[in-house]
Chain A
């Protein structure tokens, strides 16, 4: 890892780590009366450990120029391993909080494990830890191959990977200490947000430079999606997190916005986080790994362009559907609702592209669990975007809002679409990256697929039932015109569904653990075939699906 760096790159890496350590030391000094001081210690430690890690191999011989004849994949490899670690942790915490809703005593009476603190640990770990690392890993992989250009240098990608994971670590440890700005999916406080801005700008530059030096005349559509993801997340993150800290030595800050403007900014951010973090980036993944794995080009490249611009320009306006029946002006609510409905067009263009690309290769979908992960992801993408457009209609929202239906919708997207396309892409790319003929155990990939699918279906059906029951109970009146059910009645009605949800989540978690084990073993066990073509992914040859006796 370090031996790949040239001497000057090793020196740059040490200087950057030293700067991080100095920042940590300053945070310890000014934040000593606050939880921020603990974060300072964490940052300081991260900087120092990195310096020692580089120091270990500092005098290793310089790499030969032969390295320039290959793509630079080490950061992608590390990010995939980190993604799987975050996946296991995030899913485990998610299932824990699901069981807490079944049995509230499962907090064990300490502050850090209360539902309100563990829930953001779950969402941040799975969305930013798992999803974010998978996006960084695959984006750098796809970028280099589709541009036929190597990453510009060997330090900045490492800064992105490790810097981003430091952000995730500061975020989740902060929640457990009670540090939060109480904005959903934007919980980290001001100094953690500032750190992410630095990391993200570097990520964008790392992405732009190989594109500028690309050999292909046309920028492949995956790169459009990945770039929209990086650029828009930067804009969203900076605007929504404009805040003034009470002092430089305190974690607490106050938002620059107040009242309904604050709510609107937050859900402009929140829904576009869904759009550009959880959709655009993963569509970029899909448009590369699905054709590669299926061994056939995308069905309609034109449709992918139309859906790209549709998603980019429609999603921006959809956020206000989170604020139906609030103080937000009625016309802004209607605007959000209308754009949410129009979103169905670009969303289904992409979902249709998935299925039509696979049309004619269903034998491969049947035989190959990796490709099946991607196919199911496309189906769930289509279902979830239909459901989302429907739920954004004001009158439907009056039933669904604040109920578990929303939780079911989110997980249909997060488990069914995001996690499935990610696992599919990771299973495709791990053998390519580590030069293996195939995954350590295709049977375990198959097991993971069925565990993930069963878990998702159980989860989503439980939450649909629970949500609609809950919504109906909240709006049932008796003859005298008062509410027929007390709040506690609805909790009793939801209890069986909460057990089902936690069981579904457990299946998904077991699947994630099986996947992590399989990936680890693929990395650890050397392949029988060692001379696989160096950097080129191995697309399945068109029409090579092995015929079986029955055919």
Chain B
């Protein structure tokens, strides 16, 4: 199969545009989702949690 230049341009100007926008929206929703807040705050604090070494 020969991939023509015009085909690549077509894909990137249609599908390429929308999947990246959709992805950006999805990431922002995931990051800002209210019920995720506790998990993220916990993750930010996790590096300070006192512990003595590997768990196994």
Contact = CB atoms under 8 A, between A and B. Distances in A.
Given A218-B46, A288-B47, A309-B23, A302 B40 contact: yes
Contacts of A103: none
Contact of A146 (B28, B37, B47): B47
A221 B43 contact: yes
Interface residues of B, number: 30
A216 B51 CA distance: 12
A244 interface: no
A241 interface: no
Contacts of B44: 291, 297-298, 301
B20 to A, nearest CB: 7
Contacts of A221: 43
Interface stretch (A65-73, A428-436, A519-527): A65-73
Contacts of B50: 536
A329 interface: yes
B55 A215 contact: yes
A108 interface: no
Contacts, number: 84
B43 A220 contact: yes
Given A145-B47, A291-B47, A313-B20, A305 B52 contact: no
A248 B56 CA distance: 46
A71 B53 CA distance: 6
Nearest to A306: B31
Most A CB within 10 A of own CB, among B12, B20, B32, B47: B47
A305 B40 contact: yes
A302 B39 contact: no
Contact of B47 (A149, A292, A303, A533): A292
A305 B31 contact: yes
Given A145-B47, A218-B46, A298-B44, A70 B54 contact: yes
Contacts of B48: 291-292, 297, 539
Interface in A523-551: 533-536, 539
Interface string A49-73: 0000000000000000000111100
A398 B26 CA distance: 36
Contacts of B42: 218
How many interface residues does chain A have, given as a range?
35 or more
A71 B54 contact: yes
Contact of B52 (A68, A291, A534): A534
Contact of A535 (B37, B47, B53, B56): B53
A69 B55 CA distance: 8
Contact of A309 (B12, B27, B54): B27
A190 B20 CA distance: 35
B45 interface: yes
B42 to A, nearest CB: 7
Contacts of A331: 9, 13
B3 to A, nearest CB: 12
B30 A313 contact: no
Nearest to B43: A218
B41 to A, nearest CB: 7
A147 to B, nearest CB: 8
Contacts of B28: 306
26 contacts: A68-B54, A69-B54, A70-B54, A71-B53, A144-B54, A145-B47, A148-B54, A218-B43, A220-B43, A291-B44, A291-B47, A291-B48, A292-B47, A297-B48, A298-B44, A301-B41, A301-B44, A302-B31, A302-B37, A306-B28, A309-B23, A309-B24, A335-B12, A534-B52, A534-B53, A539-B48
Given A68-B54, A301-B44, 5 more contacts: A69-B52, A150-B56, A218-B43, A309-B24, A310-B27
Closest 10 CB pairs of A and B: A150-B54, A297-B44, A301-B40, A309-B27, A301-B44, A218-B43, A302-B31, A215-B55, A305-B31, A535-B53
